[in-house]
Amino acid sequence: MSPELSNSPHLVHSQFVRFMFVIMDTLFLVKEISASILIFLVTLLSIRTLFKRRGRKLPPGPRGWPVVGALPLMGSMPHVTLANMAKKYGSVMYLKMGSNNMVVASTPAAARAFLKTLDQNFSNRPPNAGATHLAYDAQDMVFAEYGSRWKLLRKLSNLHMLGGKALDEWGKVREEEMGQMLGSMYECSKKGEAVVVPEMLTYSMANMIGQVILSRRVFETKGSDSNQFKDMVVELMTVAGYFNIGDFIPFLAKLDLQGIQRGMKHLHNKFDVLLTNMIQDHVASKHKRTNKPDFLDMVMAHYGGEHDAHGDKLSLINVKALLLNLFTAGTDTSSSIIEWSLAEMLKNPSIMKKAHEEMDKVIGRERRLKESDIANLPYFQAICKETYRKHPSTPLNLPRISNQPCQVNGFYIPENTRLSVNIWAIGRDPQVWDKPLEFKPERFLSGRNKMIDPRGNDFELIPFGAGRRICAGTRMGIVLVHYILGTLVHSFDWKVPLEVGELNMDEAFGLALQKKVPLAALVTPRLTPNAYIP
């Protein structure tokens, strides 16, 4: 194009007109955006005002950070952080956790409102990395959606392993494994060796559960295999309890900023190999078993194929996920309670002395404790309740999520709000318990506290949760704690090794509340020698 043409008045006018149209379009766009923002703000203000007018105000809670919300406030001990927050904000507390709503109940009344009154509305678990990467994408009993599959897994577990009748039927297994444990501890006492309590408990309890599920002991000898299994269980319970950023800010999930999902996948692979081998060995040895069908036999009767699961049929993944639940939760939660209880008695020798006196009076020293003796040991039962109160195995319970909007204590709880019940905070609330930081079994020997039961109906003491998603192994957990802890207390005098000095009572947070420093103690036999023969 020639310079003359490019400078013609008509062209300049045309360019100017186009420029003005661009300016006008831009101004119109800015005006539209401004109007949209104004409409959004007015609408938001109107909704907030409407909620307030209708009593739909959210519960009080801390101001979070942009995008991440209250996640950075949690720290390494979320149950303690949330308990301290509840002192300021109240029994029902709201937090924005990334893009998710979360509500925390911190008193018995608040727990009752969510887990009893609104139990059906909070019958599901929120999606999270633990369910996806550890529990076979929520194909287990713990994380499964509330529905027919969950009901079938729960029914099979209660009928053949966890229910009252099933527990009675495998009482002989508990007695035999307890004999093995006592024999091993007796040998340690003769050598002057300290007993590492969590290792001993995991080994024995895994073998108890193994005999019921597979008709065989999982570990024939205590050593590297059983210790590795214990480490895997502790790791699972620890990582499953982490506040994973990806669970609360979904677009960051793939980045795995904390490396949590990477660790979960690696751990899952190790468990999957273990569980696959268990099932394959069990199927291969079926022709050799002449005793009555075991738990896995009963579950496999509902097997519909490797990936096929419909109606009353289970897939191979469902079976493996269920075994994962039973072996991990069955060993870890009960063993942590027993370890904490022994540690508290070592810190308070007068309590151990009273327990010994009661047991000597009821049982004597000529035989081992039997499960039928527990009913006649009220002080020992009080020790167990006091441990559930002060050291609940799942401090924040397992999370739930609301299916629909609801109201609690006059506060509006939106749909898809995550619920955490701070069982640890309830157990240490001075409004509920006198001198809650002290370990005092006597509090359960008189008054209303004497009638409190830990099975989910008395919300002052709900170590296993409550409602329809209460821990399926509640009965089994109580039986194991009573029998194993009672036998250990009755059979031995306990002492902290001199080199340990002051007993460390620090906690390590996870799905289950572990002792930060595993308990190791010296034991001295109290009974006649024949009581320690397996």
471 carries a ligand binding annotation: yes
Q: Give the DSSP letter string of 449-506.
A: GGG--TTTTSTT--TT--STTS-TTHHHHHHHIIIIIHHHHHHEEEE--TTT-SPP--
DSSP 202-213: HHHHHHHHHHHH
Residue by residue, DSSP assigns 355-406 as HHHHHHHHT-SSS---GGGGGG-HHHHHHHHHHHHHS-SSTT---EE-SS-E
Contacts of 301 (CB under 8 A, 6+ apart): none
Which residue's entry shows tokens 């409190």?
A: 452
Q: CB within 8 A of 36, min separation 6: which ones?
A: none
In 3D space, the residue among 200, 223, 171, 180 whose CA is nearest the CA of residue 494 turns out to be 200
Q: Is 171 helix (H, G, I), strand (E, B) or coil?
A: helix
Q: Which of 197, 204, 196 is nearest to 179 (CA)?
A: 204
What sign has the CA pseudo-torsion 121, 127, 128, 129? positive
CA–CA distance, 62 with 95 (Å, rounded to integer): 7
462 near 396, Cβ under 8 Å?
Answer: no
In total, the chain counts a number of residues equal to 534
Please, how many CA atoms are within 13 Å of residue 473, restricted to the half-sphere of its CB? 22
Cβ(135)–Cβ(142) below 8 Å: yes
d(CA 360, CA 373): 11
Q: Which residues contact 195 (CB under 8 A, 6 or more apart)?
A: 185, 188, 520, 521, 522, 523
Question: Binding site residues, as ranges?
Answer: 471
Question: Binding site residues for heme, as ranges?
Answer: 471
